[in-house]
Structure 1
Amino acid sequence: MDNNLTGAAEIQIRLVTKQSQYAVPDVPYTIDATVSTSDLNNLINTLLFGQSDVKTINFDFLIFNQFLQGSLVDHAKNNNGSFENVIEIEYIEKYPAPEPQDCLLHDDWVSAVKTQGNWILTGCYDNTINIWSTKGTHVLTIPGHSMPVKALSWVSLNERNAHFISVSQDQTAVLWKWNIAENSVCSLCIYKGHQRGIDCVDVNPNANIFATGSWDTVLKLWPAVSQEMDGDLVMNDTSKNCATKAPLMSLQGHKECISAVQWIDSETILSGSWDQTLKIWNLNLEGIQSEITANKSFFDVSYSPLNKLIITASADKDLRLYDSRSNHGPVIRNSYLGHSQWIQSVTWSKTNEYLFLSGGYDNQNKLWDLRSTKASLYELLGHSDKVLDVDWSNPKYFVSGGADNSVRIFKSQKTLMKNY
């Protein structure tokens, strides 16, 4: 440990920010080594506004690329830092607390939620799919599966029509068309080929192929769209008799249930499994491109195209951050501690490279910043039973479904700034 930490009474800091509207003079400031975030907040607000009655702005502080928690001296000790030189502290406007909106009640466990624009799809253990508005209005209940619906994915959405896919423990995937004006739904295709229940689904960036992962340990690819005409998607089969489709490709390599699947790009797929592995598949090779092995089953995984990192939810209390680009050495970048039971679901922000959302068996959703490993930014309370799925596809809304038969909607009170 650096001796400069134990005897430091005062230190010199330099305050920097990427948010130019909050910039203060770029000069060293001498402060007490024991100051905390509240003291630094007071300092910056005084530098910005003097002693006026202007509303205080709350900031978070990055030191040694980690959020400050506790005092400066303790933070430096925990991060093997030194006070020998001027310490650069980056400050960022604190992300405001998400605002609870609606509670959407169902007849059974809600195991799948997926938002697109102003609409929310929910999948339920009563074998139904429901469509809701982001304002909390129930639009439609869709029967069709014979067992619980485990996952959902939008294919397309415009003012007139929407297309989406549902997968179920009944071993089938179904492609649906929703006529928004008439508020009517028809099933276009049934996809059969899995030998056990399907647990996850994702549509590729071109919206013409989707992937499913199953308890039969096989990853399958299926056709979703044939062509585009007059700005509206024309599906492979629009006859009154719902067509049955066979898979385009079957990829084998996992040894237990495939619990998560996500397209990284049009030729690359990420999957997570109960067999304690993450696999990245190359479709040109029709096989595994790389693999990450852990010591816990993966319940969910999420890849961010913004930072090229993978966040995982596992059969323990920790979230883990992986770098898929690492070819040697440790690939775990960080672990995030805060849940008190198993973590079931996780997803990255679509607009911010630092933020992600998780939901667990402790009935809690948590909003995280990847630079804060020891505490989440916020706990999104409301569920009275375990959280089964979370979604952040619309940047304005955090949505979660749970074993309390409800969907919870939280609204972001802030448009995310690029440099947050």
Structure 2
Amino acid sequence: MANAENDVPQIQIRFITKQEQYAVPDYPLSVPATVLTTQLNTLVNELLKESVDSNATFDFDFLVCNEFLRTSLTEHINERGVSTEEVITVEYLERHPPPEPQDCLIHDDWVSAVAVREKWILTGCYDNTLHIWNTKGKHHLTIPGHTSPIKSVAWISLEDERATFVSASQDQTAILWDWNITDNSIECVQICRGHERGLESVAVNHNAQLIATGSWDTMVKIWSATVDERSNDGESASKKLKTDHGKIRTPELTMKGHKEAISGVVWSNKSELVTSSWDHTLKLWDTELGGIKHEIPGNKSFFDVAYSSLAQVLVAASADRHIRLFDPRSTEGSVVKTTFTSHTQWVQSVCWSTTDGNLFLSGAYDNQVKLWDTRSPKAPLFDLSGHEDKVLSCNWSNPKFMVSGGADNTVRIFKSKHAIH
């Protein structure tokens, strides 16, 4: 009687890895076509014990045709039209460890904006206040000044003794702030006026010279980000600030092109901007020429856009519950390279890892923050659960901490434990 095991067709595979500490011999091996990641994991660990003579076991993920294996091997390669006659190359890498929940920072109202720089967390709230916390969860400062909810915040500079940052609000202004860290005092340095409706997004360019804002008035405006110690006529800044007039900053440039509210702005290099809008488009702008370089159409409103300087690609969050990865430089086929589907409500916020061009976060109205790898479009690596209401903002500027703000009046902090690269 034939053994049932013999009835399962075999596939020839070859293991490779870029993580040399885990390298095993790359000769072809026969495995059942129905093999899953758990069995591949056992196999690699057995090969490692033979070649490295160590009893430690490791948890690996497996890439076949540049996508993580999440089904049986035969299903995975059939979907991609790969012949089972060939030797299949299976790349393995250490699995990303689960992020660990750290802290919950309680606010008095919805937290619609978060930005992290080193050990400091800046938050913006629907009660018109800004807050500064450290990554250990200690509250340092409450900052009044805006007259409507704050929708976006960004750090400009951070030194040992002082920091500057910018906040954008539905009160139609962006404010530049100077924080004296030593004595924990704050000064409103400049009020950026010029938008005719509420602001949704603010971003600072790479050399911290320029600020971009996007608004419900459909305009993109560019402002100077410099916080001058002295004004041109030699008057000290503090003396000049006694008159409100000295605080008003006007835009250096206004760019028109969107038909509805601009929901997100991000700098892709020192003079190029990407915007997302409710008008179903993403636009790439040249701030030196002051015009649109490229437009990417979508089929629903976009609520946020993020650019990875490592991978040089965009992810955009949309009203259709999907996140899409765009390669704006692509000349072949669609600029949409991947669609990530798992959220069950509007996706409100996206943010790339600053150290790994494959990883990004998303936050949505389904109360979930998700950690994604671009090589696993059908399922996130992890759900970062904890919010009890809509997630409005997420940030991963400090590689160690994933931070999100929500309509449950909290900021959630997860510690990111990076796999070895």
Q: TM-score, normalised by structure 2?
A: 0.93
**Comparing 406-415 with 218-227, which one deviates more in the overlay?**
218-227
Alpha-carbon separation, structure 2, partners of 1:237 and 1:35:
70
Q: CA deviation at 1:267?
A: 1.3
The aligned runs of 1:392-403 (5 Å cut-off) are 392-403=396-407
Structure 2 CA distance for aligned equivalents of residues 415 and 39 of structure 1: 21
Identity %: 53
1:15-414 matched pairs, under 5 angstroms: 15-49=15-49, 54-225=55-226, 239-241=240-242, 243-327=247-331, 329-414=333-418
Q: CA deviation at 1:70?
A: 1.5
Query: Could you say what the CA RMSD is over the residues aligned between the two structures, in angstroms?
Result: 1.9
Q: Deviations over 1:260-319 (max 9, x none)?
A: 001111111111100011100012321000000111110000111111111010002111
Distance 1:236 1:210, change over 3 A: farther
Aligned equivalents of 2:46, 2:356: Cα separation in 1 = 29
How far apart are 1:238 and its partner, in Å?
7.5
**Amino acid of the structure 1 residue aligned with 2:120:** W
Aligned 8 A contact 2:281 2:296 in 1? yes
In the other structure, the counterpart of 2:10 is: 10
Asked whether the 8 Å contact 1:148–1:169 carries over to 2, the reply is yes
- Cα distance change of structure 1 residues 252 and 45 upon mapping to structure 2, 3 Å threshold: same
- Matched to 2:264, the amino acid is A
Asked whether the 8 Å contact 2:48–2:54 carries over to 1, the reply is: no
Equivalent-residue separation in structure 1 for 2:237 and 2:393 (angstroms): 30
Gaps of 5+ in 1: 1-6, 230-234
Distance 1:416 1:94 in 2: 9
CA distance in 2, matches of 1:387, 1:372: 22
Structure-1 separation of matches of 2:303 and 2:277: 7
**How many residues are matched?**
406
Structure 2 gap segments, 5+ residues each = 1-6, 231-235
Helix, strand or coil at the partner of 1:100: strand
**C-alpha distance in structure 2 between counterparts of 1:135 and 1:169, whole Å:** 30
- The code of the aligned residue for 1:250 comes to T
Aligned structure 1 segments of 4 or more residues deviating by more than 3 angstroms: 50-55, 226-229, 235-240
User: Matched residues in 1 for 2:203 and 2:258: separation?
Assistant: 18
Q: 1:412 deviation in Å?
A: 0.9
Partners of 1:274 and 1:131 in 2: how far apart?
Answer: 30
Task: Output the CA distance in 2 between the equivalents of 1:362 and 1:161.
Answer: 38
Report if the CA contact (8 A) 2:96-2:418 is conserved: yes
2:12–2:88 contact (8 Å) kept in structure 1: yes
Using the alignment, how far apart are the partners of 1:274 and 1:411 within structure 2? 33
Native 8 Å contact 1:352 1:416 kept in 2:
no
Q: Give the letter for the 2:341 counterpart.
A: L
- 1:416 and 1:179 map into 2 onto residues whose CA distance is 37
Structure 1 residue 416, shift from structure 2 partner: 5.6
> Given the superposition, is the C-alpha separation of residues 238 and 394 from structure 1 closer, same or farther in structure 2, using an over 3 Å criterion?
farther
Q: Cα distance, 1:107 vs. partner?
A: 0.3
Separation in 2 of the partners of 1:391 and 1:236? 33
Alpha-carbon distance between aligned partners in 1 of 2:175 and 2:197, rounded to the nearest angstrom: 15
